[in-house]
Structure 1
C-alpha cells in the first residue's frame, strides 16, 4: 500500500502506541512472531546500496537522508518508535537511532558496521535507548579488507553504546546468510522484553 507517498508493507494496527520501521527482505515471519499491539511498517527498498547508506562511499549512493526525511514526515509525538534492520538495514537503523530521540528501541542484526566512516559517526551518539546488536561468528572471516572489520566494529559499537544504553551484543552461529529471519525475531523479542523502562 502507499503510506505517506511511499510504497510500504503495513501490518498490525495503525492506532497502536508502538510503531516499528523495519528494513528486511521479507518481514512475514517477523510479523507472525510479534505478540504486542503494534503498527509494523516495512518500506519497499528498491536499491539497498543507495537508499540505506547514510553517506556516500565507493559503490554506495548515500541517499539515507532521503529515507530519513520520509520517515520523519510520518512520525508524531503520540507514538513510541522502534527501528530495525538486517545488513545495510541494520546500519541504517543504528544511524537513525543515533540521530533521533524518538526511537526508544533499535535492532541491528548482522549490521553492515564495516561501512566506511561508521566508527567516527558512532562516537557522536549521545542518547539512551534499548539497542540489540548481533553478528554471525563467521561474518568477519572474509578476504575483503573492508568487510573483515565488521566483527571488531560491532564489538566497539557495543562497548560504546552499553555505557549509556540498555544494550546487548549476541554472537550468532554461521555467516551473514544464516537464519536471518530468526536473528531478527530474537532481536525483537529482546527489545520488547527490555522496553518496559519506557512504558512505566
Structure 2
C-alpha cells in the first residue's frame, strides 16, 4: 500500500480513507468540500491499497461481477491502518467509497479506535454482511451511510440487494443506540464519488 497525506499534519482530527486511482483523482475536490463544510482543521490519510477486491473484503466471497473473487484480506489491511492511528491525543475517523466504505464499517466492529465511520455508497450487498452486523457489536457511536437512489435498480441480482441491505443496516444501528444517518443521493453508483465521500466525512466530524 502507498500512503498519501493531505491537510494539516498537526490537526487533532485525522481522517483515514482507503483509496484506488479513481478516488485519488478526486481527492483534492473532496478535501476542498470537507474544508468548506467545517472550520475544523483536519488531516486526511489516503491509503492506496494494492488489490481492491482482496485487501478490502472482510472474508472470501465469489465475484459479484467480473472474474476476480473477493480474497478476504481486510484483517491484514486493518492491521496496517491501525499503525497510522497510534497517537492517543488524536481523534480518528475512517471512511471510504464503495467496497472501501464497507471495509470502514466492518473495521468499527473490529476495533474501538475510530470515533466515527463515513460510508459513502458502501457495498452492503456483500454476502452475509448484515448477518455479521447482527452477530457482533459495533465499537463506534457515529455512523454515516449513503446510497445513490439508482444503485439498487440494477440487473445484477447480487448488487440489486444493496438498497434493502443498507436500510436494514441503518435500522440495526439505530436500534443499538448508534447515532446513524442514511442519506440518499441522486444517481447511480458511479456518480459524484468525491462529493458523496466529502459529505460522509463532513457529517461524522461534525457529529
Residue 22 of structure 2 corresponds to residue 23 of structure 1: no
Q: 1:46 aligns with which of 50, 57, 63?
A: 50
Structure 2 partner of 1:135: 147
Cα RMSD for the two superposed structures: 1.4
Cα distance, 1:16 vs. partner? Answer: 1.9
Q: 2:200 aligns with which of 187, 191, 196?
A: 187
Match of 2:76 among 66, 84, 93: 66
Q: How many residues align?
A: 189
Aligned to 1:101: 112
Ranked by relative contact order (alpha carbons within 8 Å, sequence separation 6 or more), the top structure is 2
Q: How far apart in 2 are the matches of 1:182 and 1:189?
A: 10
Q: Distance in 2 between matches of 1:118 and 1:139?
A: 18
Q: Which residue matches 1:56?
A: 60
Query: What does residue 198 of structure 1 align with?
Result: none
Superposition misfits of 4+ residues, deviation over 3 angstroms: none
TM-score normalised to structure 2 length: 0.86
Secondary structure, counterpart of 1:104 in structure 2: strand
Contact 1:127-1:165 at 8 Å conserved across structures: no
Structure 1 CA distance for aligned equivalents of residues 94 and 140 of structure 2: 14
| Aligned ranges 1:112-123 → 2 under 5 Å | 112-123=123-134
Residue aligned with 1:33, SS: helix
The unaligned stretches of length 5 or more in structure 1 are 1-5, 195-200
CA distance in 2, matches of 1:81, 1:69: 15
Aligned to 1:3: none
Unaligned regions of 5+ residues in structure 2, if any?
Answer: 63-68
